[in-house]
Structure 1
Amino acid sequence: MSTDDLTEEVEGPASRGRNQWAYERLHEAIREGTIEPGQRMMETEISAWLRVSRTPVREALRRLQAEGLLEHAAGGGLAVAVYDLRAIAEFYAMRESLEGTAAALAARNADATELGILHAILEGMQALPDDPRAHARENQAFHDHIHRSAHNRFLLKSLRALLNFVPLLGRTTYDAPGRVASALAEHQAIVAAILARDAARAEEAARLHIRSALENRMLVVTEDVRAASQRRSARPLPTGPADRRTRETG
């Protein structure tokens, strides 16, 4: 998607300052997938979209690059980072560790109100239709609540920094066949352990959940690669005279 396609009206920068405002808008657009992995980030286009000068845009791009959300593009400039299989595996290895710790701490530290909310979130997910997008949204709320219920500011900061990269992974793992049902069962196991105040069981359930998410992520990535290959192979061969000359002499 090009930033030219972003036609929604953008409100002007508030008193927080243009640099911070531009950074937050771009960060949000990447996080929500409005600006997609691999998309080039052109200062002039972004300036026109945000209706600010190029200076705050340049500063925002610098910060996003420092955070790893942008990378150098072929031919110069910056683009939204694209994760390869190794990076995906590294992401999930770190997430497994952090989510396991969060679940264990939530089992120890969550108060009665937080436990009640967690149970209510799970019940809400159980009532959802078999819709990957709906479950993906509630999945985020589910994990966010566990993170906060752990009551560890340093863990929370680490998780938020890590989860900034989720949009770079592509479409949701809930698109994998059977993932809605399997993820729900895994969530039930996590909640049961937290409600029982069993920190060790909660950590193991959370780790198993993230390992399962990695397996489903690889299924989705494999499917996307196969679909892209099929689209390329389905393109008709060139038939014009110039194209024939190119093939004959190439």
Structure 2
Amino acid sequence: MKAALLLCVLLYLNSAVNGGLTGNTVFFPQASANSYVKLIPLKPLSLDAFTLCLRLSVDPDVVNQPKRETILFAYRTQNFDELNVWQEKGKISFYLSNSDGALYSIPLLSVFRTNLCLTWESSTGLAAFWVDGKRSTLQVYRQGHRVQSGGAVLLGQDPDSYLGDFDINQSFVGEITDVNMWDSVLTGSQIRHFNEKEWVGPTANVLNWNTMQYEVKGNAIVAPEKYI
């Protein structure tokens, strides 16, 4: 009876939708084909501009293998990968709507936490990564494109179908926290403030780590503030 009750509790915790991740980090302790966190956006991801920021640290023995691809952020609709961010081929990259990606020769992730932001706007196509407050060279990518709504945002896995077909060799291994997204391009000054403990910029209105709901699946662990 006790074993059955414990199993029911674990199943509930593994599927429950919760509110807000303030002060928490999500830990993926090992490569897997079933562990992920689904984030529930505050508004549909129908975007002609965005800023995406997150803090990450990785197990370099796994993630930094020369031929390994590691998903950092995935947003997929029923039919397409709308927005994916990767560490691959010794670079950091992002892809919009199954197109060829934009690859950046910037510092790779490490065992120490990295503040990573990505900006893109449709009108000019200008895109850049920011690493610990320092901007990469601009690239022009998918000018005139629009990110489509109706998809799912995942941390930890790259779905090759909607919420499925995960590849263990592309899974994230490490920690992710403070995932925030805005429907505009923030200024350099605002992005640099993302490195500070107290955020003083505009409230994230697409994904907000402090208020959005989320679902935990598999062996992903939500670790409390004392580990931040």
Q: Shared topology, TM-score over 0.5? A: no
TM-score, L = length of structure 1: 0.23
Which is helix-richer, 1 or 2? 1
TM-score, L = length of structure 2: 0.24
Which is strand-richer, 1 or 2? 2
Q: Which has the larger radius of gyration?
A: 1
